[in-house]
Structure 1
Amino acid sequence: MDVGSTALASTAPDSGGPRRRRWIHLGFFAVWGPGLCVMLADTDAGSLITASQSGAQFGYRMVLPQVILMPILYVVQEMTIRLGIVTGKGHGALIRERFGRGWAYLSSTTLFLSVIGALLTEFAGVSGVGELFGISKWITIPIATVFLLALALTGSYRRVERIGIALGLAELAFLIAMVMARPNLGDLAHGMASLPLHDPDYLKLLAANVGAVIMPWMVFYQQRAVIDKKLSTTVIRQARHDTAVGAVLTQLIMISVVVAVGATIGLSNSGASLNTVGDIAHALTPFLGEFGGTVLFGLGMLGAALVAAIVSSLAGSWGLAEVFGWKHTLNERPSRETAKFYLTYALAHLIGAAVVLASLDLVDLAVDVEVMNALLLPLVLGLLLMLEAKALPPQWRMRGPHRYVTWVLCAAVIGFGLYMIPGTLHW
């Protein structure tokens, strides 16, 4: 019996009283995971670096966009829940089925670009955290790579999900750092009311923040994760709650980084050179102390990088397998049937690790990757909206205000992405 059936059975009328309520809560808890995991991965090393740059350069003026992005993030990922649970098919498979191989190959290209970009920033983040504590990247990167490869061989999606969430919760350290920074609430309110949209540097960072929140690989991941977790239509409401809580949490983490850096570096030294994870941590240390500036920042960054490496690489492997018709699931150990899926997962990590060991400028890379994600969003969201309207039975499609709000929010993101393309590409 799958989780959805279990939850349905647990909600059937009985006379169990407290015992019945306990089983209901357990059933609900069993449904949670895909949304929380993908949202914690959303706040990855690249996103956190982008948030740090935003706080350092523009103080609190990037906080309001983070708040606005909460509902946008939720409505996008909520569509993947319904598509995955109702159709039982992943995002790439649905695109190939509904729109043909050409569109499927194009979507897999956007997925490949965003996943490789994400993995580069995650491994660079792991390297940077190691160097904070005097550990060479030639030690931290191989250890992280072996850990990530071994994780996929456990033969259980649920186990991978639990480990990912546990790692991602380390990001809560940034909330503590924000409190330690003691932001002035009056200045925070003033900054939120001031958006310098005329400034091209602000617009580029705004695009990076949009790309840091809605990433192509997130769509592929959550749609497949609800399938591997064997969720049914009886628990879609609980799956939505999982996603909503995750959307709020991930944006609170982004806000905490913007505020912590804005209240410290942004006020005293907005022109500080922040080219590595170490630069950011060392710039925070005079304000937050060794514990806040190094330990908390390093712990949060490491957790963010590892959970995002897990989720993005799985999304890429699942998505490519769906487009090319390979068998793909984490609930089976490697075999001849699943060899291509697992090989893709392994190669993504090995390529990312090798490139980072060749040395990269993390901050510039992170911002550029997130800007690239924002530029890819018109295609990603356009296909997602069309699938929602065509692939789902009528009773599972959006209706009324829900439909109009979702289309307006997605249209705003698509329009912003299209607007940014000429300037970003220097046309």
Structure 2
Amino acid sequence: MQATDASRPSPASRLRRFLVVFGPGLVVMLADTDVGSVITAGQSGVQWGYRLLGLQFLLVPILYIAQELTVRLGLFTGRGHGELIRDTFGKGWAWVSALGLGVAVTGALLTEFSGVAGVGELYGLPRAASLSIAAVALLAVVITGSYRRVERVAIAVGLFELAFFFVAWAAHPSVAGMLKGSVDIPFRDRDYLYLAAANIGAVIMPWMVFYQQSAVADKRLTPEHLRAARWDTAAGALLTQLIMAAVLIACAATIGLRKPDASLETVGDMAQALTPFLGQTMGNLVFGLGVLGAGMVAAIVVSLAFAWGLGEVTGYRHSLEFHPLRARWFYGVYAACVVAGAVLVGVWPDLVSLNVAVQVMNALLLPLVLGFLIALAVRALPAAHRLRGWYLWLVVAVSAVTCALGVFGALAGLA
């Protein structure tokens, strides 16, 4: 009995272990609530009140299941997602996954930089100036050559998203209205299904999987960190969906009640629509901080995910622990993503209207993302930690239902 007690880690050692592991899950989840997701949640609240609120909470366990598999793969194999697909299924399938990643990254970067430009415009800052400042800041963060430093900056910036909770509180939503609306679901309405698909697509995206698995490998975490990594992922999954719910509630309780036909395709649209309820200064400040945090942390994660993923497929050096001169391709791809995203939004400002469409595209990519995750969890993990038994069938069933809902909603809305 004494030996058992001696071998049991103390609370202090468990806390130290958690702090070592803490980061990748929270960062990727804060990035998950990116500009496109925020606008999708806002549009959901305006058009459908609280009818899509319940979906936000149903997606918490689905998000956790997907990212927990990602963490498990990173911890037990020590390899990133693209590298693991290449080694397990061959280069052809690795390039298929990289292609899906590239499509998702392109759409995400357009929404992130559109959001940053929109915040600048709230304060009269020219689009070229705000995009240039954002691009320089994003390049400066990563060029330091330290994963832990990048992670700390990403968390600090992403926490500005907590401003959305203040917006929801200030909107004074009706609890009875939320409960009633959550169960009043118009299953046959195509517009509703389209937005439901967009909300599903806003939860699980290819770059999230690539980023978290690569971050776990880059941070050199080991199987002994699995428990703490799961808590990190669970906390992040709950936080990101609470933020989505806060945005939806704020817009449903204000704009949805008085201007249900309002179109919120830009950050400016959202902030201006809330002005009568929060005041112009407060509306701009709170929404500006939230969107800026969402856009910047997502831009870091998305660009790094592509640089890691492409490196894992092609074989070039891909780690933030390498000096930029020793990993030129890795840092070059990251820089190219940042600069290209800023330039495209600067040249074609109307790209902000793609926010909801990008999330729908992510829903259509779900079968590819979840399919690879499950296949790797069955084939690539050590035998004792592979998906098997009832949990395997639970994961397959949940993934199949999620994919079916996302794809059906997307196709129904596009029909």
TM class by shorter-chain length?
Answer: over 0.9
Corresponding position: 1:341 with 2:330: yes
CA contact (8 A) 2:378 2:388 kept: no
Corresponding position: 1:220 with 2:210: yes
CA contact (8 A) 1:276 1:361 kept: no
Match of 1:109 among 90, 96, 99: 99
Separation (CA, whole Å) in 2 of partners of 1:174 and 1:291: 15
Separation (CA, whole Å) in 2 of partners of 1:163 and 1:69: 27
Could you tell me how far 1:127 is from its partner in structure 2? 0.3
CA contact (8 A) 1:61 1:193 kept: yes
Q: How does 1:55-204 map to 2 (within 5 A)?
A: 55-204=45-194
Match of 2:239 among 221, 246, 249: 249
**What's the secondary structure of 1:213's corresponding residue?**
coil
Separation (CA, whole Å) in 1 of partners of 2:92 and 2:373: 16
Q: How does 1:37-56 map to 2 (within 5 A)?
A: 37-56=27-46
Separation (CA, whole Å) in 2 of partners of 1:329 and 1:245: 26
Separation (CA, whole Å) in 1 of partners of 2:411 and 2:162: 37
Instruction: Name the stretch that deviates more: 23-32 or 140-149.
Output: 23-32
Aligned to 1:296: 286
In structure 1, list runs of 5 or more residues that go unmatched.
1-10
Amino acid at match of 1:253: I
CA contact (8 A) 2:363 2:410 kept: no
Could you tell me how far 1:29 is from its partner in structure 2? 1.3
Instruction: Name the stretch that deviates more: 290-299 or 366-375.
Output: 290-299
CA contact (8 A) 1:209 1:370 kept: yes
Match of 2:17 among 16, 27, 32: 27
**CA distance 1:376–1:131, shift in 2 (3 Å):** same
CA contact (8 A) 1:275 1:361 kept: no
Amino acid at match of 1:233: P
**What's the secondary structure of 2:279's corresponding residue?**
helix
Separation (CA, whole Å) in 2 of partners of 1:379 and 1:172: 32
Aligned to 1:3: none
Amino acid at match of 1:343: G
Corresponding position: 1:378 with 2:367: yes
**CA distance 1:286–1:421, shift in 2 (3 Å):** closer
Aligned to 1:283: 273
After superposition, what is the alpha-carbon deviation per residue over 1:214-241, rounded to whole angstroms, capped at 9, x for unaligned?
1110000000101111111011010000
Amino acid at match of 1:247: A
Aligned to 2:399: 410
**What's the secondary structure of 1:183's corresponding residue?**
coil
Could you tell me how far 1:14 is from its partner in structure 2? 8.5
After superposition, what is the alpha-carbon deviation per residue over 1:133-155, rounded to whole angstroms, capped at 9, x for unaligned?
11111111001001111111111
Q: How many residues align?
A: 412
Corresponding position: 1:261 with 2:271: no
Instruction: Name the stretch that deviates more: 258-267 or 134-143.
Output: 134-143
**What's the secondary structure of 1:196's corresponding residue?**
coil
Could you tell me how far 1:360 is from its partner in structure 2? 3.0
Corresponding position: 1:395 with 2:384: yes
Separation (CA, whole Å) in 2 of partners of 1:182 and 1:362: 33
Could you tell me how far 1:206 is from its partner in structure 2? 0.8
Amino acid at match of 1:52: G
CA contact (8 A) 1:39 1:247 kept: yes
Separation (CA, whole Å) in 1 of partners of 2:268 and 2:318: 38
Separation (CA, whole Å) in 2 of partners of 1:166 and 1:401: 39
Q: How does 1:411-426 map to 2 (within 5 A)?
A: 411-420=400-409, 422-423=411-412, 426=415
TM-score, normalized by length of structure 1?
0.93
Could you tell me how far 1:162 is from its partner in structure 2? 0.6
Separation (CA, whole Å) in 2 of partners of 1:416 and 1:304: 26
Amino acid at match of 1:65: L
**What's the secondary structure of 1:123's corresponding residue?**
helix
Give me the CA root mean square deviation. Answer: 1.8
Match of 1:320 among 272, 286, 310: 310
CA contact (8 A) 1:208 1:368 kept: yes
**What's the secondary structure of 2:262's corresponding residue?**
coil
CA contact (8 A) 1:125 1:362 kept: no
CA contact (8 A) 2:196 2:406 kept: no
Aligned to 2:353: 364
Could you tell me how far 1:291 is from its partner in structure 2? 4.7
**CA distance 1:53–1:425, shift in 2 (3 Å):** closer
Instruction: Name the stretch that deviates more: 131-140 or 261-270.
Output: 131-140
Identity %: 53
Instruction: Name the stretch that deviates more: 416-425 or 224-233.
Output: 416-425
Aligned to 1:353: 342
In structure 2, list runs of 5 or more residues that go unmatched.
none
Corresponding position: 1:205 with 2:188: no
CA contact (8 A) 1:276 1:362 kept: no
Could you tell me how far 1:422 is from its partner in structure 2? 4.3
Runs of 4+ in 1 over 6 A off after TM superposition: none
Separation (CA, whole Å) in 2 of partners of 1:154 and 1:162: 13
**What's the secondary structure of 1:332's corresponding residue?**
coil
**What's the secondary structure of 2:104's corresponding residue?**
helix
